[in-house]
Structure 1
Amino acid sequence: MAKMTGGQAIVDSLIANGVTQVFGVPGAQLDYSFSAMYDRSDEISIIHTRHEQGAAYMAYGFAQSTGRVGAFFVVPGPGLLNATAAISTGYACNTPMMCISGQIPSDKINMGTGQLHEIRDQIEIAEKITKFARRIDSPEETPSIMARAFNELSSGRIRPVEIEMAMDIMPMQAEVTEAITIKKRAPRAPKDKTIKKAAEMLRNAKRPVLFIGGGTLDASEEVRELAKVLKAPVVPSVNALGVVDARDEYAYAPVAGHYFWKEADVVVGIGTRMTPQLDGWGVDENMKVIRLDIDAIEMQIFGIPDVGIECDAGKGAKALADALGDCDAKWPAETLKQIKDDVEKEINIMAPQVEYLNVIRDELPEDGHFVTDLTQMGYASRDAFPVYNPRTYLYPSYQGTLGHSYATGLGVQVAHPDKKVVTVAGDGGFLFNVQELATAVQFNIPMVCIVFNDNAYGNVQRIQQTSHEGRVIASDLVNPDFVKLGESFGVKSCRTDTSEGLRAALKEAFDHDGPNLIEVQMKLEDIPAPWHLYFRPRVRG
């Protein structure tokens, strides 16, 4: 037992559970937590940002690129609401984020008295976009509630959590028990019976395919071994890029899945929602579905699989590989080559994007990180950018949070100070979090941001031109001079309009000890739309 404030108790639990870096924006409702971090600054540090959304995205980037907890502090009401886009991104990507929010005075919560930053039912709002949300009503409760939050971030299906404490509880002193250090639970192993059934089904398969999702980010070795044993193609979701090295003989781009789906007789989904496969491409009586997932409910959203195995992805993939032993190759070599050739042709329709992406891939080290926004270059990268290691490609999954990438990339760079990080944004999305240029300079975060500028919400405008008979509305943009803008913050900035110009700029940026901004000027009409890769017709059922 030790006498401490509520704010000190929160910080004590963070430190006890290995959190040494947090992000946030200070405010009156958080003062006692920030004061506690000041007193323990040799154990925990904070990067304060220029907007709550920036802080939350940095925590997301930190967590998604490491698998460790990304913690951040926000004031209640508008502070928490500003962070919800990033929290929902973490929810979509199964990211271990911890949001710590202040609250108005405890006796005024939900009273509608107009307190500073008051919103009704804040905890209920947080519950909708988190795995776990709780209010701490006394300092003494802090160790147990924080322990519960860390348990949720280290077991089962991992998604963000939210903890809040009222501003009159933060300074309250009490005798508080020692912070509880959570030990990560052993991964859930599959049942032998279901593994045997799945293995038998695969041994008898003629055209098996593995589909993997973000649940396999920490199961790269096991998934690669399963693919090698089964000698089957592996198709990742965007969140699973890099789980199998793109250069591996069994690795295929996401778009290749549609080709394999036409002929597959047994498909295995590991740690994936299997969207759009099951809900878009269809299933018929000639296809069997095997699913391995830590979330039993997830496996039943699109119907009951022929074999459903509730387990950790790594444990399940290893058990399945062990049960299979060595298998004969089932896909004819000429079929696999033809699919690779067909996919390459489709990708090369986007020649201008591919040219720029090839330059980035050439210059970015194999273990470097690539963070992409919702932009024409980003869309193309999902199939045209080879990824070699898990957690080195970040995309906001189905949440599609435009404007996330700059702040997310800063969080990635903070987590990996010795690695290179490249963030790609469009001119529209970049300005969503442009204020974090100041954070990059203040903390000398040496990330490289490439802004592809077509002076439009390019994707929206293209759809308006092609699908709405040229009814272009609200999609033209007037932009600042991005080079002068970056320089005004103190960011090393330059401009180019060629791929080789980008190559030279990247080389120079990687040699610079500080943040970098590269503007690439493009014309929207010169950028082929990548949508042909994603809207696939139903091919089964």
Structure 2
Amino acid sequence: MNYPETASLFGHADGHHQPRPMITQTCGEALVTLLEHYGVELVFGIPGVHTVELYRGLAGSTMRHVTPRHEQGAGFMADGYARVTGKPGVCFIITGPGMTNIATAMAQAYADSIPMLVISSVNATRQLGGGTGRLHELPSQRGVFAGLTAFSHTLLNADELPQVLARAFAVFASERPRPVHIEIPLDVIVAPARGTTSGARVLPAKAAGAPAALDAAAALLAGAQRPLILAGGGAVEAAPELRALAERLQAPVALTINAKGLLPRSHALSIGSTQSLPATREVVCESDVVLAVGTELGETDYDVVFDGGFVINGKLIRIDIDGQQVMRNFPPDVAIAADAKLALAALDARLATYPLPPRDAGWGAPRVSAARAAINAGYDAPIRSQATLFDTISDTLPDAVIVGDSTRPVYAGNFVFEASAPRSWFNSSTGYGTLGYGLPAAIGARLATDNRPVICLIGDGGLQFTLPELASAVEAAVPVIVLLWNNRGYAEIRKYMVERDIEPIGVDIYTPDFLALARGFGCCAAMAETPALLANELKQAAARRVPTLIEIDEQKWFDNVSGGPA
């Protein structure tokens, strides 16, 4: 395509060269430049005829492009990258089917408050909403994605680009992080973009919390005999502050699944992520003041048994970056709209000036120890066998990031596994609860680390959703470790149907030869049916520069670890 600004670049026929004229970038090229200014290093996407102009500036940029095998994979990769780094995962997605393909990934990110920037094309401005049967046409693409995003915007003028991007990064920097969708019409992508690449804009700071609300919270906590802390993924950047406050108060701490690692493994005040179990619920009920920070207090963290049995009897203090969220589920006695790190630091500073009363003698670490003993005694043989799986992983690769799908060992791990650090354990069993997340999200997570091993923990059913992403991992030289838990079907759903006296239909699916498939994609592959074999395979996989699939047969693992059938 020719632009007036690019004419006469090669001088005159007589050999006398004229000064090279200033070349105006297109909107698509300006977008790449601006993303660089905001520190974006990685873009996920599948080029299509409606997005090629977004790629015009990529070759000369510092950003790396990774091509998944499906747009859903692009979204999940961006999600995994964002969860490890805290930075937004960025995707370039085509109009229509590309966007509907990525919708599930956006919904999972929305539910778990993950920053994601989805840049898509859309039909030309004169064709929007026309219903004339244009390629990839939706009646209102922006409308479809408005409910899955912090905001969805149609860029109608190239000059708007810096402002709209600044709005997106303001969401990521200072609000509840969620996906943002910006669609650019085909005629706007190629339009000249003059004066739009001067750099990233100054972004707003996170809210620190109203002093009066912080004072009220500090007074409640200072007078508490049995304080308790419920911490969620919104506190993932506040590990030192959370630990300092918990230790000052000698308060037991329960962590949501996305908050694992905020306290060190086996910390004396950590009850783990067991809020759905009776022993931990008893501790919550006994607490006279509960501090909930960065958590929705939602079902998939507090009531995975779906019995409505999670109850808070004491005074409730809620801290959340989202002022609306503190009003949902459990109404607070003190509401603080603030960043978790800033608010916890402010609370600890205030409490340092209070003469704290002596706590109940059996509270704090002794109460946590009693609760942990009751929880451990209640685990059945399959849970204990899967706990051995996690012990093996932790002993062999102690700093690994574990990215899970919706599968049996992940459900067990949500209870029994303790992460070594924040952003080291996450999966798709929370929030939206999709299948097929684990593999592409683990690829994104591994791209976000230097040499830290990343393990995808996934079942045979879930892996078949996104199996072709093994090719993406090989192509991008991402040495992710895929730990495949094979029970030949949707075993958890089969169990659920049987418990409700429903004839199991559709759950006993065909199981392919995963080892052969993995090798066909260019991966290494092996079986591991005992802890010793698994440890050996994990060591070898961590030393490779190519992906590795390690298959575990569920029944053989149970037989070898617990000595009998599950």
Specify the TM-score bucket, using the shorter chain as the normaliser: over 0.9
* Contact 2:173 2:205 (8 Å CA) reproduced: no
| Match 2:47 to one of 21, 26, 49 | 26
The yes-or-no answer on 1:9 pairing with 2:9 is no
The aligned residue for residue 290 of structure 1 is 317
Corresponding pairs, count = 522
Q: CA deviation at 1:39?
A: 2.9
* Contact 2:530 2:557 (8 Å CA) reproduced: no
* Contact 2:281 2:311 (8 Å CA) reproduced: no
Structure 1 distance, partners of 2:421, 2:227, is 24
Distance 1:203 1:330, change over 3 A: farther
Q: CA deviation at 1:185?
A: 2.8
| Match 1:362 to one of 382, 395, 399 | 395
* Contact 1:9 1:179 (8 Å CA) reproduced: no
* Contact 1:232 1:331 (8 Å CA) reproduced: no
The aligned residue for residue 119 of structure 1 is 138
Unaligned runs of 5+ in 2: 1-21, 560-566
Structure 2 distance, partners of 1:525, 1:420, is 23
The aligned residue for residue 531 of structure 1 is none
* Contact 1:207 1:331 (8 Å CA) reproduced: no
* SS of residue matched to 2:406: coil
The aligned residue for residue 90 of structure 1 is 109
The aligned residue for residue 369 of structure 2 is 337
The aligned residue for residue 15 of structure 2 is none
* SS of residue matched to 2:176: coil
* Contact 2:166 2:203 (8 Å CA) reproduced: no
The one-letter amino acid paired with 1:208 is: P
The yes-or-no answer on 1:57 pairing with 2:57 is no
Q: CA deviation at 1:184?
A: 4.2
The one-letter amino acid paired with 1:38 is: A
* Contact 2:169 2:203 (8 Å CA) reproduced: no
Structure 2 distance, partners of 1:487, 1:481, is 10
The aligned residue for residue 60 of structure 2 is 39
The aligned residue for residue 262 of structure 1 is 285
* SS of residue matched to 2:298: coil
The aligned residue for residue 400 of structure 1 is 433
The aligned residue for residue 484 of structure 1 is 516
The aligned residue for residue 274 of structure 1 is 297
Q: CA deviation at 1:524?
A: 9.8
The one-letter amino acid paired with 1:437 is: L
Deviations 1:197-250 (A, max 9, x none): 212212222211100111101111111111011110110111111111232211
The aligned residue for residue 215 of structure 1 is 234
Deviations 1:504-541 (A, max 9, x none): 211111121211111111239959xxxxxxxxxxxxxx
Q: CA deviation at 1:398?
A: 1.3
The aligned residue for residue 488 of structure 2 is 455
Distance 1:339 1:55, change over 3 A: same
* Contact 2:271 2:371 (8 Å CA) reproduced: no
Distance 1:507 1:525, change over 3 A: closer
Deviations 1:57-89 (A, max 9, x none): 111100111101210111011101110111111
Q: CA deviation at 1:121?
A: 1.0
Q: CA deviation at 1:283?
A: 4.8
Distance 1:526 1:468, change over 3 A: farther
The TM-score normalised by the length of structure 1 is 0.92
Q: CA deviation at 1:51?
A: 0.7
Which structure has the larger Rg over C-alpha atoms? 2
The aligned residue for residue 538 of structure 2 is 506
* Contact 1:231 1:330 (8 Å CA) reproduced: no
The aligned residue for residue 454 of structure 2 is 421
* SS of residue matched to 1:280: coil
The yes-or-no answer on 1:163 pairing with 2:182 is yes
Structure 2 distance, partners of 1:494, 1:463, is 31
The aligned residue for residue 346 of structure 1 is 378
Q: CA deviation at 1:110?
A: 1.3
The aligned residue for residue 166 of structure 2 is 147
Q: CA deviation at 1:262?
A: 2.5
Unaligned runs of 5+ in 1: 528-541
The one-letter amino acid paired with 2:336 is: I
| Percentage of identical aligned residues | 31
The aligned residue for residue 216 of structure 2 is 197
Structure 1 distance, partners of 2:150, 2:144, is 12
Higher relative CO (CA 8 A, sep ≥ 6), structure 1 or 2?
Answer: 1
* Contact 1:347 1:384 (8 Å CA) reproduced: no
Q: CA deviation at 1:179?
A: 4.0
The one-letter amino acid paired with 1:413 is: R
The one-letter amino acid paired with 2:478 is: I
The one-letter amino acid paired with 1:22 is: V
Distance 1:426 1:282, change over 3 A: closer
* SS of residue matched to 2:111: helix
| Match 1:432 to one of 452, 465, 481 | 465
The aligned residue for residue 475 of structure 1 is 507
Deviations 1:18-39 (A, max 9, x none): 1021111100111111121123
The yes-or-no answer on 1:409 pairing with 2:430 is no
The yes-or-no answer on 1:225 pairing with 2:244 is yes
* SS of residue matched to 1:91: helix
Structure 2 distance, partners of 1:488, 1:104, is 39
The yes-or-no answer on 1:187 pairing with 2:206 is yes
Distance 1:334 1:137, change over 3 A: closer
* Contact 2:296 2:325 (8 Å CA) reproduced: yes
Deviations 1:456-501 (A, max 9, x none): 11110111122225x1110001111111000001101111222322
The yes-or-no answer on 1:515 pairing with 2:542 is no
The aligned residue for residue 329 of structure 2 is 302
Structure 2 distance, partners of 1:127, 1:180, is 27
The TM-score normalised by the length of structure 2 is 0.88
* SS of residue matched to 1:116: coil
Q: CA deviation at 1:2?
A: 6.7
Distance 1:291 1:2, change over 3 A: farther
* SS of residue matched to 2:331: coil
* Contact 1:209 1:232 (8 Å CA) reproduced: yes
* SS of residue matched to 2:69: coil
Structure 2 distance, partners of 1:122, 1:487, is 39
Structure 1 distance, partners of 2:263, 2:403, is 18
Matches within 5 A, 1:219-258: 219-255=238-274, 257-258=280-281
Pick which of 475-484 and 193-202 moved more.
193-202
Q: CA deviation at 1:191?
A: 2.2
Structure 2 distance, partners of 1:443, 1:183, is 34
The one-letter amino acid paired with 1:23 is: F
* Contact 1:4 1:176 (8 Å CA) reproduced: no
| Match 2:420 to one of 381, 384, 388 | 388
Q: CA deviation at 1:281?
A: 3.6
Pick which of 231-240 and 333-342 moved more.
333-342
* SS of residue matched to 2:194: strand
Pick which of 70-79 and 298-307 moved more.
298-307
The aligned residue for residue 110 of structure 1 is 129
Alignment root-mean-square deviation, CA: 2.0
The one-letter amino acid paired with 1:322 is: A
The aligned residue for residue 100 of structure 2 is 81
Distance 1:474 1:121, change over 3 A: same
* SS of residue matched to 1:154: helix
